[in-house]
Amino acid sequence: MRKKALIIRYEDLDDKKQIFKNTKTVLVGGCFDLIHFGHLKFLEAAKEQGDYLIVVLESDEFIKKHKRKLPVHQQGERAEILSNLNMVDLIILLPFFPTNNNYFDLVKKISPSIIAVTEGDKQLENKKKQAKEIGAEVKEVVTNLKNFSTRNIAKIFNL
């Protein structure tokens, strides 16, 4: 039986980096509030790019401020759900990052081989700059499946 993915706080990242030190790491990030088919396909495709899949999980405050809605699941619950997916190896619980510089620091700390994105990622240019700075590659691993979005699912169920 596969063990669950490890869940750590961002503040504890420096103490845990040895876990993925000698692997081809793939980094993805997001809210993952309501796990759906699009998330599943994205995470599967991201995992195929390397040996170790790291998910950086946005805070509840991020969802409130940037998505302009309340999260359906709190960050800890979202992490627990993700930790049970076979392709996920590590989940990092992010605090609220007020600036893009915080994300640059995060990427430098993790130093992934690949940053996996979905087609049309709104942060693509920032992610390319981050990747260039550490010698990583940004890979578009899936097309955006417009029917499968947390926002669409929430509308259907009035969430």
Catalytic residue among 21, 64, 69, 132: 69
Taking the CA atoms of the chain, what radius of gyration do you get in angstroms?
15
Q: In the chain, what are the helix, strand and coil shares in percent, each to the nearest 5?
A: 45, 20, 40
Alpha-carbon span 126 to 105, nearest angstrom: 12
Catalytic residue among 4, 16, 41, 67: 67
Active site residue 67: yes
Active site residue 69: yes
Contacting residues for 37 by C-beta, under 8 A, at least 6 apart: 145, 148
What 8-state DSSP symbol labels residue 157? T
Residues annotated as catalytic (active site), given as ranges? 67, 69
